[in-house]
Amino acid sequence: MTHHNIAVSHHHNIKMLHIPSLYIAPSSRGGRGVFTSEEIEPESIIEISPVIVLSAADLRLIHQTHLHDYYFLWEDGHCAIALGYGSLYNHASKPNADYRMDYADHSITFYCTRLIKAGEEITVNYVAGGNERSELWFKEN
């Protein structure tokens, strides 16, 4: 993985890293999305998001809240909310990024899978990515 111009923050053993060109803007996919103001090369790390791990009981309750659209399935029947931009990356069937869960470090690493141009939205595939979902719960734009 390449580390270009990244901002790293350390606070109480939690590492958060993201490239400084990321920004949030309205998305044609609906709601908000994560975009880049500079080109991102394939294999570059986009962000390492720390997560808040929630219990299996919380996972059952999360479906009754607005957080239903923002969580990741985690190990042992748990779920997690990604901090930073992590829970805001939108879905695409042909994404330009992917992610890996780090259960030991309680983080998710998002990385570039093909050249992402300046102004382009960064997307991941919710079904094929590190997430364990088997199908989408919404209609894709």
Residue 70 placed within a domain:
no
Q: For position 17, which CATH number holds?
A: 2.170.270.10
Residue 14 placed within a domain:
yes
Q: How confident is the model at residue 128 (pLDDT cuts 50, 70, 90)?
A: low
Indicate the pTM of the whole model: 0.81
Residue 39 placed within a domain:
yes
- Per-residue model confidence as pLDDT tens digits over 90-127: 999 899 999 999 999 999 999 999 999 999 999 998 87
Residue 107 placed within a domain:
yes
**In which domain, by residue range, is 19 found?**
7-51+87-124
Provide the number of structural domains found in the chain.
Answer: 1
Can you tell me the distance from the alpha carbon of 90 to that of 14, in angstroms, rounded to the nearest whole number? 24
Can you tell me the distance from the alpha carbon of 116 to that of 118, in angstroms, rounded to the nearest whole number? 7
Exposure letters 104-124 (e unless 16+ CB within 10 A, then b):
eebbbbbbbeeebeeeebbbb
Residue 46 placed within a domain:
yes
Give the model's pLDDT for residue 16.
57
Residue 78 placed within a domain:
no
Residue 74 placed within a domain:
no
Q: Residue 135: is its pLDDT beyond 70?
A: no
Residue 79 placed within a domain:
no
